[in-house]
Amino acid sequence: MTKPNDLRARTFVRNLLATTCGVTLVDLEPRHDQPTADFEMVDSGKSVLVAELKTLVDTPASVETGWTIEVDEDGGQQATRPHNGPGRIMKKVGKAHRQLSMYPHPWATILHNADFRVDVGDFFEAFSGAREFGKVGERRIINIASRGIALGHTFPTRYDVDLYIWVDEEHAKPPLGVWWSTPLGEEIAHRYFSAAATSNPERVGT
Q: For residue 152, which amino acid is it? A: G
- Among 65, 83, 99, CA closest to 149: 83
- Does 141 fall in a domain? yes
Q: What is the mean pLDDT of residues 161-181?
A: 87
Total domains in the chain come to 1
Residue ranges making up the domain that contains 52: 4-58+76-192
Q: Flag whether 71 is in a domain.
A: no
State residue 204's pLDDT score.
38
pLDDT digits (tens, 9 = 90+) for 32-59: 888 899 999 999 999 999 999 999 987 7
pTM above 0.85, yes or no: no
Question: Is residue 203 a part of any domain in this protein?
Answer: no
